Structure 1
Amino acid sequence: MLLRSISALIGAPLLLILTYLGGPYTAFLAAVIGLLALHEFQEIAHKLKVKIWMKATFIGAIVWLLLITLDLREWMFPFLIFWLLISLGRMGLLYPDVLIPEVALNFLSIIYTVVLSSHLYLLRSLEQGRSWTLLAFFLVWTTDTFAYLVGRAFGKHPLAPHVSPNKTIEGSIGGLIGAILMGLIASQVMGGMPLPFFLGLSFIVGISAQIGDLFESALKRSAGVKDSGDLIPGHGGFLDRFDSMLFAFPIVYYIVLLLAAR
């Protein structure tokens, strides 16, 4: 418990400071989260007896990060198509030594970790990006906190018993209520968009954050591990701490990009 508290007291302010500073600081933060999460994902895949394409995935991750940080964003979609073709082509060339599970997990390894985490930097780069990114953090944290407190106090009906037996429908609803309350506060503090926009954004993030948490739990259960890693004392790995964020960053980025940052 002490290690967990110390890690939170150090990690949360560092996270907020690097996000607040923006530019290369946030780019560095997003890259560290993505690359360490990629390493943990590959460790989980290894436990699933799946061969990892170490060189290919590392090169792909670095290329993606360079595209983002050098503002070559018109190459983002082509990169994803190329990476898909490379993954499928490897099976075409090496079958039956390479099968669908290996292709799927190696393709997903970059998408789930580096691509999703890079949206932290993309979101921070938008107009008013500092406010939107901090809102994403607080929406996820509020969702997690309310889900835990409400679930512990009133939870009776399991949400996904085969994935996370302790999570309940009541806790999930509590998390959504917490996210909406944070959206109400944000609408007053940030302004610039009507209240329904903030409420809708908060509701969607509240759902996506919980789905991100459940997906990572399912991933760990499939590999028979409790934590994705041990890099954060008292908290497990980077995937354990950022599973909800990985889903939230792209959601907030594209909603803001399409509806607010015009």
Structure 2
Amino acid sequence: MFKQRLLSGIVLVLIAVFALYMGGMVTLAATLIISLIGYSELLRIFHIEKSSLAVIGYTGCILFYVAMFFDLAQWTVPIIILFLIVLLGCYVIRFPKYKLNQMMGCFFGFIYVGIMLSYIYQLRIIQNGGEFVVLLFLAAWGNDTLAYCVGMLIGKHKLTPELSPKKSIEGFVGGILGAVILGLIYGFYIKTRLRLSFDPVVMFPIICGVGAVISVIGDLAASAIKRDAGIKDYGSLIPGHGGILDRFDSILLIAPVVYYLMVMISGGTI
């Protein structure tokens, strides 16, 4: 099981590195595909992954990403509003076929997966975005790995025994400190390569620390959804890891936060 998890993890990292390195259409397509698969995994909980509601949801995601690609920022909010109107129209026309929780799940999934993950692409396409997008994975996967190691070594006090019995307070603190240290190291590296309007040695550890805390929230929120739904994993696409949402649950919340933090510390111009 460990070998399978390790190998699939390496493949996943290589695909992510390639997609993010290429930028442009490649990054957009990869992010959209991940969003659609993750959205489908969430809709499966409500048994509507192949329904009319799902078709509306998938179409809404595609339109949102197309608007981003053509830099039509003024259309992103109207697309969300239009999506809700069409969704409610389907609810009314097909009533009582779909239940309220299915409607809510479809709209929630559109925001939670489709739009939140789009910030990976939005971060990548800004100036120096190829370097900044690394912060997402230092904060999320770096925190997750270091929290696991610290928890295994010295973890004694349970963080959230009902949601995730294996997570410890010691691991939580260790993961955040680890992410901060990774951000510091990366900040020194970037400082020698780029001229920025801010000091990455100061700001990157802060961003990674904030991201690490949000990473834990994202991970535990995903666990809460699975427990409420009575499932172990969102899917089985990635051997040893589960589904797309099982691997990207932390990134979902971190991506928009890192994007807006980068915009703020740069004075709106990166």
What's the TM-score, normalizing by structure 2? Answer: 0.88
Structure 2 residue aligned with 1:258, among 264, 267, 270?
264
CA 1:85–1:161 in structure 2 vs 1: closer, same or farther (change >3 Å)?
Answer: farther
Alignment check: 8 A CA contact 2:135 2:208 kept: no
Query: Larger relative CO (CA 8 A, sep 6+): 1 or 2?
Result: 1
C-alpha deviations, 1:19-47, integer Å up to 9, x for none? 01111111111011101101101112229
Alignment check: 8 A CA contact 1:42 1:52 kept: no
The answer to which of 219-228 and 78-87 deviates more is 78-87
Residues 1-262 of structure 1 mapped to structure 2, 5 A cutoff: 1-46=2-47, 53-87=53-87, 100-191=100-191, 192=196, 193-194=198-199, 195-260=201-266, 262=269
The answer to which of 93-102 and 250-259 deviates more is 93-102
C-alpha distance in structure 2 between counterparts of 1:95 and 1:46, whole Å: 16
C-alpha distance in structure 1 between counterparts of 2:98 and 2:46, whole Å: 15
C-alpha distance in structure 2 between counterparts of 1:26 and 1:86, whole Å: 28
CA 1:98–1:236 in structure 2 vs 1: closer, same or farther (change >3 Å)?
Answer: closer
CA 1:177–1:52 in structure 2 vs 1: closer, same or farther (change >3 Å)?
Answer: farther
What is the RMSD computed on CA atoms of the aligned residues? 2.2
Aligned residues: 260
What's the TM-score, normalizing by structure 1? Answer: 0.91
Alignment check: 8 A CA contact 1:52 1:106 kept: no
The answer to which of 62-71 and 15-24 deviates more is 62-71
C-alpha distance in structure 2 between counterparts of 1:177 and 1:218, whole Å: 25
- For structure 2, the residue ranges without an aligned partner over 5 or more in a row are none
C-alpha deviations, 1:45-76, integer Å up to 9, x for none? 229xxx87122112111111211222212211
CA displacement at 1:224 relative to structure 2: 1.0
Secondary structure of 2:162's partner? coil
- For structure 1, the residue ranges without an aligned partner over 5 or more in a row are none
Alignment check: 8 A CA contact 1:38 1:109 kept: yes
CA displacement at 1:89 relative to structure 2: 6.0
